[in-house]
Amino acid sequence: MFVSLEGPDGVGKTTQAALLAERLRATGLEVVQCREPGGTGLGERVRAVLLDPEATMGDRAEALLFAAARAELTEAVIAPALARGAWVVCDRFIDSSLVYQGLARGLGLESIRAVSLFATGGVLPARTLVLHGVDRRDDEPDRMEAAGADFHARVAEGFLELAALEPDRVRLIDARGSVDEVAARIEQALEDLRP
Ligand code: TMP
């Protein structure tokens, strides 16, 4: 079973991804936890370039680098894990590209969807949890976080738009409140997928 956690920067999804993986493991399931971009030797190197505040690149190059990292992670880690019946919990996946590059950068949802599905060979999460409603960004922004308030407003809106387009797969999770309260909302949104 493949689950991704998504949302704007600083919404708390990395904490929740780790807690979800822990809860699933406690029930005896094999869980592979990963993050995007990253999770492979190549992916971590591409991540360093993409987030380097000193790096400059055009929007299309940026989109293709995210896609390259995703292709590697899917082939080397996610597809083999799914094939042996493990759960995969991924901190960001295709929807980050749809929102950040497709909507916020303005490259278009359909072209980014096509590039991303080419990268993953069609692999998509069974459920995507979009956390929203808070901003706990710290004060040392990486290249993406430094993209400006307008850009991040488009990102926040873009995730809501995406959830409305694919309500079955993409579920909105209110990220306000305590870590435990948010975790409980996540559990509820996965109830029908649990063994
Ligand atoms: P994070 O893993 O710390 O959230 O940082 C990843 C940053 O990269 C974050 O700002 C979102 C951005 N991003 C994209 O713009 N497109 C993508 O496809 C992915 C996976 C991340």
pLDDT of residue 112: 98
Atom in ligand 1 nearest the alpha carbon of residue 145: 10
Distance 91 CA to ligand 1 centre (A): 9
The stretches of the chain forming alpha helices (DSSP H) are 13-26, 41-51, 59-73, 79-83, 94-96, 109-120, 149-165, 179-190
Atom in ligand 1 nearest the alpha carbon of residue 104: 15
Give the single-character DSSP code of 122.
T
Question: Residue 139: which pLDDT band, with cuts at 50, 70 and 90?
Answer: confident
Kindly state the average pLDDT of the residues 108-129. Answer: 98
- How many residues does the structure list for the chain? 195
pLDDT of residue 140: 85
Domain 2-193: state its class.
alpha beta
Per the model's pLDDT, the better-predicted residue between 70 and 141 turns out to be 70
Nearest to 125 by CA among 89, 80, 153: 89
118 to 17, 75, 188: CA distances (angstroms): 25, 12, 32
Nearest-CA residue for atom 18 of ligand 1: 97
Nearest-CA residue for atom 2 of ligand 1: 36
Q: Is 62 exposed, middle or buried (0-12, 13-18, 19+ CB in 10 A)?
A: buried
High-pLDDT (> 90) share of the chain, % = 94
* Mean pLDDT estimate for the chain: 96
Domain ranges across the chain = 2-193
Nearest-CA residue for atom 21 of ligand 1: 96
Report the pocket of ligand 1 as residue ranges, CB < 6 Å.
9, 35-37, 66, 92, 96-97, 100-101, 144-145
Atom in ligand 1 nearest the alpha carbon of residue 66: 18
Question: Residue 106: which pLDDT band, with cuts at 50, 70 and 90?
Answer: very high
6 near 35, Cβ under 8 Å? Answer: no
3-state secondary structure of 2: strand
Kindly state the average pLDDT of the residues 153-162. Answer: 97
